[in-house]
Amino acid sequence: MLRWKSRLAALLAGFCAGLSLVFVSSLFASWFNSATTVTSRGPTSPPCAGEEFFRAPEAILAALESPEVAVRRVALRRLLLSPGVETTYFDFERDQSYPERSERGELRYVNLDEAGDQEALLTFVRWGRPAAVVLKQEACGWRSLATLGAWLKYEDYPYHGWLELHETVRPGTSEILLRESAGGTTHYTRRARLLKVSDGALRQIAEFDEEVIAPLPDYVAADWNSVRQRRLTRLAFHPAAVATAAAPAPVELETSEEVIKYSSAATAPPAYLYWTEGD
């Protein structure tokens, strides 16, 4: 009888030990699976938007100059370059369906912000007007920060000097100087805007009239219609070697005035004559 009781006690003890071992093993397994699941559900990067990012700036330039209408139309739509209307004879709907080819395309890589990475500056002429696109490289590709255009009433194709790069504030970081012009029969104004990339956006930091031509006050001589007063304003700043990251170079405006006289437009030959690439 005692032998049977001892065997039963040993059997019960073994059963309880096995049950405890199974319980502990399942508990550890559940903890491990839970930890693995939590680790796999960590933060993930958002999906990349296909229309917003470009593979390379070179591909954008090739698309803008492509002979295929569909390729140009898609590129302009993704860059948010809507066609403008300059005259009543311009067919707006046709330009939306059959946009003009871009000409005189130029691609430059330049540092426009303080992050250290170079941005891409793409300039071209489309439909008789200059344009530019500023692109920045991100994890998903190249994204357009801004598209720029200029109204140039008196300047002609190919619009030299409408956009320039200057290191005006910090050494090694360039700002964009954008020029536009307007006026009438007796006045001319060329306005300049200084633009800088900051916090992932292109912002204007200065604006001034770079050149102003107007009639000379109180001048009543016979040649009054050819005499003008000309005022020039330019950016002046300390040399780049003086500026540091902690103390950027201050930007100042220097203005000068002079009296000029126009020669006869009928006898003076044109200084330049250009044919567009599409002619």
In a domain, 27, yes or no: no
pLDDT at 1: 53
pLDDT at residue 202 greater than cutoff 70: yes
For 158-180, how does the pLDDT look when each residue is reduced to its tens digit (9 = 90+)?
A: 888 899 998 877 888 899 999 99
Percent of the chain with pLDDT over 70: 65
The one-letter amino acid at 37: T
pLDDT at residue 4 greater than cutoff 60: no
Query: Domain count of the chain?
Result: 1
pLDDT band of 191, cuts 50, 70, 90: very high
Closest CA to 171 of 252, 109, 242, 110: 242
pLDDT at residue 248 greater than cutoff 90: no
The one-letter amino acid at 89: Y
The length of the chain in residues reads 279
In a domain, 2, yes or no: no
pLDDT band of 186, cuts 50, 70, 90: confident
Report the C-alpha gap between 30 and 22 in whole angstroms. 12
Q: How far is C-alpha 16 from the geometric centre of its chain's CA atoms?
A: 73
pLDDT, mean of residues 236-243: 56
Supply the DSSP symbol for 195.
E
pLDDT, mean of residues 263-268: 52
In a domain, 248, yes or no: yes
User: 219, 239 in Cβ contact below 8 A?
Assistant: no
Q: What's the sign of the alpha-carbon dihedral 55, 57, 59, 60?
A: positive
In a domain, 39, yes or no: no
Closest CA to 79 of 137, 138, 133: 133
pLDDT at 5: 54
CA distances from 70 to 65, 100, 126, 140 (A): 12, 11, 16, 24
Greater pLDDT, 89 or 145? 145
For 73-102, how does the pLDDT look when each residue is reduced to its tens digit (9 = 90+)?
A: 888 888 876 544 444 444 555 566 677 788
In a domain, 218, yes or no: yes
Enter the tokens of residue 153.
């009433």
The residue segments making up the domain with residue 197 are 53-261
**CA Rg, the chain, in Å?**
34
Residue 67 CB partners (closer than 8 Å, separation 6+): 101
Supply the DSSP symbol for 245.
S
In a domain, 185, yes or no: yes
Strands 163-166 and 141-149: unpaired
For 37-83, how does the pLDDT look when each residue is reduced to its tens digit (9 = 90+)?
A: 333 344 455 577 667 899 999 999 999 999 998 898 888 888 876 54
The one-letter amino acid at 173: T
In a domain, 149, yes or no: yes
- Number of neighbours of residue 197 by Cβ within 10 angstroms: 22
pLDDT band of 151, cuts 50, 70, 90: confident
Greater pLDDT, 4 or 209? 209
pTM of the model: 0.68
pLDDT at 190: 93
pLDDT at 123: 95
How many helices (H) and strands (E) the chain has is answered by: 4, 11
Enter the tokens of residue 7.
């065997």
pLDDT at 179: 94
pLDDT at 42: 43
pLDDT at 160: 86
In a domain, 211, yes or no: yes
